[in-house]
Structure 1
Amino acid sequence: MSKMSVIYWSQTGNTEAMARAVAEGAQAAGAEVKVLEVSQASGSDVQDCDLLALGCPAMGAEVLEESEFEPFFESIEGSLSGKKVALFGSYGWGDGQWMRDWWDRAGKDGAKLYGDEGLIINETPDDAGLEQCRSFGGGFAGF
């Protein structure tokens, strides 16, 4: 059984809903899943898992949230080489540039990235969006 950490930051609850749905899909596929807000996460939550799902919405000019999530991500950069990583988040404007930038950063760090460019959902995930998250989590559990 794969161990997965789902670590996220959410202001409005959109990315939290995505994180919980990703976790549900992974659990249904047989993974042991721990879901943590980024403020509760540590480097050991990254190192002690087989699969790492990270969730953060687009903020400001399409960047990662700067007070908690960006510092956390910076703290684990350099330790993602060979780690299976999935990225997800919600956005309300722009075209997903924050995800492309984040994807590139994780890839340059040597992460084995799941999917084509992460999973993004505009605004609040509806039922179809939540199902997309569950499917993403289930697929990642078998990655």
Structure 2
Amino acid sequence: MVKVVYWSGTGNTESMANMLAEGIKGAGNDAALFNVSDIDKDTLLEDTVFALGCPSMGNEELEEGEMEPFVESLESELSGKKVALFGSYGWGSGEWMQTWSERMTNAGAEVIGTVISNEAPTAAEEKELKELADKLVKAL
């Protein structure tokens, strides 16, 4: 099973989480979707492969009330983990995803892929999420 943990403000990142979960199921594995407020770090870190999703907020940063503290709590324990990152944005260039990916790599995780969507995910981004789902399942 692959856990998909996300925070969504407008529903775009939640849509991406659902698409990723469907892709995981289509690739022959089970997926468990969690809003970040509904899972603790120890439960997530039981697994070596998982996905995290968050939209860009403010000045191209992670949502600071729930997702940022959750990601901070994971950082010291990411060595050897394989992580996929995804999220949406409404302005800027998507720089937050590059920063987030580098942050996870610096914490010892292997980032197996990222997908970003400007606003609601398009058919092309749905395809990218399916490809990311395949990578997650293969990484198990």
Distance in 2 (alpha carbons) for counterparts of 1:100 and 1:86: 12
2:135 is the alignment partner of 1:135: no
In structure 2, give the amino acid aligned to 1:120. Answer: I
Deviates more, 1:20-29 or 1:131-140: 131-140
Q: Check the 8 A contact 1:22/1:138 in 2, yes or no.
A: no
Partner of 2:26: 28
Partner of 1:85: 83
**1:1-143 pair list within 5 angstroms:** 3-115=1-113, 118-143=114-139
Q: CA deviation at 1:31?
A: 2.1
Distance in 1 (alpha carbons) for counterparts of 2:125 and 2:104: 24
Count of residues in Structure 1 that have an aligned counterpart in Structure 2: 139
SS of match in other structure, 2:128: helix
Q: Check the 8 A contact 1:4/1:50 in 2, yes or no.
A: no
Q: Check the 8 A contact 2:60/2:92 in 1, yes or no.
A: yes
Q: Check the 8 A contact 2:116/2:125 in 1, yes or no.
A: no
Question: Structure 1: where are the runs of 5+ without partners?
Answer: none
SS of match in other structure, 1:114: strand
Q: Check the 8 A contact 1:26/1:139 in 2, yes or no.
A: no
Question: Structure 2: where are the runs of 5+ without partners?
Answer: none
SS of match in other structure, 1:24: helix
TM-score under structure 2 length normalisation: 0.93
Q: Check the 8 A contact 1:85/1:112 in 2, yes or no.
A: yes
In structure 2, give the amino acid aligned to 1:43. Answer: K
SS of match in other structure, 2:33: strand
Distance in 1 (alpha carbons) for counterparts of 2:73 and 2:106: 15
SS of match in other structure, 2:100: helix
TM-score under structure 1 length normalisation: 0.91
In structure 1, give the amino acid aligned to 2:99. Answer: D
Q: Check the 8 A contact 2:48/2:80 in 1, yes or no.
A: no
Deviation >2 Å, runs of 4+: 126-132
